[in-house]
Amino acid sequence: METITKTKLPEKEVKQEFKKETTVKIQGSEAVVRSLIEEGADLIFGYPGGAIMPVYDEFYKVQDKIHHVLTRHEQGAIHAAQGFARSSGKVGVVIATSGPGATNLITGIADAQIDSTPLVCITGQVGSNLLGSDAFQETDVVSISTPVTKWNYQVTKASEIPAVIAKAFYIAKSGRPGPVLIDITKDAQFEEFDFSYKKCEKIRSYHPVPKMDPEKVKEAADMINKAKKPFVVFGQGVVLAQAEKEFKDFIEKADIPAASTLLGLSALPTDHNLNMGMVGMHGHYAPNVLTNECDVLIAIGMRFDDRVTGSLDTYAKQAKIIHFDIDPAEIDKNVKTDIAVLGTVKETLAELIPMIDKNKNQKWHQEFHDLRKIEYDRIIHPQTKPTQEKLTMGEVIAAVNEQTNGDAILVSDVGQNQMMTSRYGKFNTTKSKITSGGLGTMGFGLPAAMGAKLGRPDREVVAFIGDGGFQMTIQELGTIMQTKIPVKIVVLNNEFLGMVRQWQELFFDRRYASTVMTNPDFVKIVEGYGIKAQRVSKRENLKDAIADMIASEDAYFVEVIVEKEENVFPMIPSGASVSDVRLK
């Protein structure tokens, strides 16, 4: 992505970011709140503390304009902001105090950076006269966050606040999105100045969208038209660019089989005839195997993550590679491309489609269907329609699919629950799959689901969480109780850290070191927060429990006791070729 200078701009340059039209003399704390209102940020997640208290005092005065969600931990706040941003397409906003409040945001900021989620994070800081003195709750959050933010800035004068916040929103949402952080000293929050606000529309030397080269588009079209076995791998870039229609029009015209990355799920409806599933370590059999059989591999809005490629030494070596992406830094970073088409994929695909020949690739499609049948017979059918006594994760997800008609937003935590939800979830609508992809953050699921529901109150939101990840942010049940967020929660309880246990079974001779979980009574805990809950351990009770959950107008919790030593297959062992995908 474009490098944004993270050093502090001189006050004069900051002030010149906008022209003053009408001014009013106010404190910096009020300027923060007024600036957020100007940016349309009417929902904010956070946790108060001493260094940010002046801003919270201003929030108290504008409760009719800004709804503040008090989470139970700053990590819960930032994951909720991520879920909000991912479901709504807006910039998520989170606010915290200095020291531990700020450092508790770092995991979520790193998660947002690698998953291209637009966030504006505002932290309080000790007075500017105390900077560098190891004052109470002082932490150099600007230095700490520099590697995991798209841009950050420390405000020491109130007059800087409007232009810095305007820049922050522009940077967070432009080009390849990402998180920004603004650290505001306490004296800057009290200082008075003449306030005016103008949204940022450009920044000198920052070019978030590279200029499209029509010649590269034409070269790509020629290569695609000549291909005998073309294959598309698409990622979240399609969703971020709002290019779902252009993408579908392209693959339908060229009749190209397509498979998704983890974060690309829901950019194309699950049941679309050209959707071959998901690639990657626990992706579907056919697209993984046939990655090494295609003659042209077209990557659209994805970054060739190691979980997608497996061993780079053997990844698609027979194929010509075409890469469509907005971020020049991703080109040739992991996989050498033959043609790189830079720009937002909404524009580049629109340019490409008229040049593409209508095609039929029946023989090539048959290869996918043959391998898909093998996977269905050996894995999918036994998982979703099991005959053994114990419930499986796949059948739980299938039961939710059935009762939501594939129209719900499915949020998952990290681990086996994540892979099972991604493999067996049905996604009819874009922005329907929310999870922590690149960082793989356990504890993400519950707060992200809260944020997703607040971002899209018109849609059903169901969180699938493992018993391990649930306990990492279980305190956010208090946020659900206080804010009355009608989110639905399914805990898949196998009394293990399931994904780690699977690796221990397959690669460490079943030495289950520190992965057995002795769990509390989840139903009692959830009911203690005033949330309806039930436990399911028998198949005959599953359907009714899911029906009760979906029918509820309030938050609802279902704990499902599943097979303890169930594994997620297919699986590509770490460092192996995508062709070495295992079915058992």
468-495 pLDDT, tens digit per residue, is 999 999 999 999 999 999 999 999 999 9
* Whether the Cβ atoms of residue 437 and residue 263 lie closer than 8 Å to each other: yes
Catalytic residue among 11, 20, 136, 373: 136
Number of H helices, E strands in the chain: 25, 20
DSSP conformation class of 474: G
| Same CATH fold assignment for domains 23-195 and 389-562 | yes
Residue with tokens 């959050």: 141
Q: How many CB atoms lie within 10 A of CB 510?
A: 10
246-259 pLDDT, tens digit per residue, is 999 999 999 999 99
DSSP conformation class of 25: E
Is 50 exceeded by the pLDDT of residue 4? no
431 belongs to the catalytic site: no
Segment 214-232 mean pLDDT: 98
3-state secondary structure of 491: strand
Segment 516-525 mean pLDDT: 98
* Whether the Cβ atoms of residue 112 and residue 434 lie closer than 8 Å to each other: no
**Terminus-to-terminus CA distance in the chain, angstroms?**
39
Q: In this structure, what token pair is assigned to residue 247?
A: 């993408």
Q: How far apart are CA 347 and CA 56, in angstroms?
A: 42
Q: Residue 11 has what pLDDT? A: 46
Q: How many CB atoms lie within 10 A of CB 523?
A: 17
Catalytic residue among 186, 426, 431, 453: 186
| DSSP-derived secondary structure for 122-155 | EEEE--GGGTTTT-TT---HHHHHGGG-SEEEEE
Q: Taking Cα atoms as reference points, which of 379, 526, 330, 550 lies closest to residue 460? A: 550
Residue with tokens 């989620």: 117
Q: pTM of the full predicted structure?
A: 0.94
Catalytic residue among 15, 18, 137, 219: 137
Catalytic residue among 499, 502, 504, 522: 499
Q: Residue 161 has what pLDDT? A: 98
Q: What percent of the chain has pLDDT over 70?
A: 96
Q: Taking Cα atoms as reference points, which of 403, 380, 402, 401 lies closest to residue 392? A: 380
26-60 pLDDT, tens digit per residue, is 999 999 999 999 999 999 999 999 999 999 999 99
Q: What is the CATH number of domain 214-368?
A: 3.40.50.1220
* Whether the Cβ atoms of residue 196 and residue 18 lie closer than 8 Å to each other: yes
* Whether the Cβ atoms of residue 447 and residue 79 lie closer than 8 Å to each other: yes
Q: How far apart are CA 395 and CA 562, in angstroms?
A: 10
Q: What is the CATH number of domain 23-195?
A: 3.40.50.970
433-454 pLDDT, tens digit per residue, is 999 999 999 999 999 999 999 9
Largest CA distance in the chain: 72
137 belongs to the catalytic site: yes
Looking at the chain, how many residues does it have? Answer: 584
406-421 pLDDT, tens digit per residue, is 999 999 999 999 999 9
CA distances 304 to 37, 177, 290, 337, Å, are 38, 18, 16, 11
Segment 306-331 mean pLDDT: 97
Is 90 exceeded by the pLDDT of residue 505? yes
Is 90 exceeded by the pLDDT of residue 334? yes
If pLDDT is split at 50, 70 and 90, which confidence band does 21 have? low
Instruction: For the chain, give the mean pLDDT.
Output: 95
136 belongs to the catalytic site: yes
Task: Please name the fold of domain 389-562.
Answer: Rossmann fold (3.40.50)
List Cβ neighbours of 501 (8 Å cut-off, separation of 6 or more): 512, 515, 565
Q: How far apart are CA 15 and CA 305, in angstroms?
A: 40
Taking each helix axis as running N to C, give the angle between helix 416-424 and helix 498-507, from 0 to 180 degrees, rounded to the nearest 10.
100
Sequence spans of domains, the chain: 23-195, 214-368, 389-562
Q: Residue 5 has what pLDDT? A: 39
If pLDDT is split at 50, 70 and 90, which confidence band does 18 have? very low
Q: In this structure, what token pair is assigned to residue 372?
A: 């898909």
Q: 118 versus 20: which is more confidently predicted? A: 118
Segment 311-329 mean pLDDT: 97
374-389 pLDDT, tens digit per residue, is 999 999 999 999 988 9
Q: How many CB atoms lie within 10 A of CB 565?
A: 13
63-105 pLDDT, tens digit per residue, is 999 999 999 999 999 999 999 999 999 999 999 999 999 999 9
181-199 pLDDT, tens digit per residue, is 999 999 999 999 999 999 9
Q: In this structure, what token pair is assigned to residue 217?
A: 């588009």
Catalytic residue among 2, 30, 39, 74: 74
Q: Residue 23 has what pLDDT? A: 86
- Provide the β-strand partners of residue 461: 409
The string over 400-434, giving b where at least 16 C-beta atoms fall within 10 Å of a residue's C-beta and e elsewhere, is: bbebbebebbbbbbbbbbbbbbbbbbbbbebbbbb
Q: In this structure, what token pair is assigned to residue 212?
A: 């499209």
Phi/psi region, residue 423 (left: phi>0; alpha: psi -120 to 50; beta: rest), is: alpha
Q: Residue 574 has what pLDDT? A: 87
Is 80 exceeded by the pLDDT of residue 22? no
Q: In this structure, what token pair is assigned to residue 248?
A: 């579908």
- Provide the β-strand partners of residue 125: 185
Give the dihedral of Cα atoms 10, 14, 16, 17; nearest 10 deg. Answer: 150
- Three-state SS string across 156-216, please? CCHHHHHHHHHHHHHHHHCCCCCEEEEEEEHHHHHCEEEECCCCCCCECCECCCCCCCHHH
* Whether the Cβ atoms of residue 197 and residue 38 lie closer than 8 Å to each other: yes
If pLDDT is split at 50, 70 and 90, which confidence band does 238 have? very high
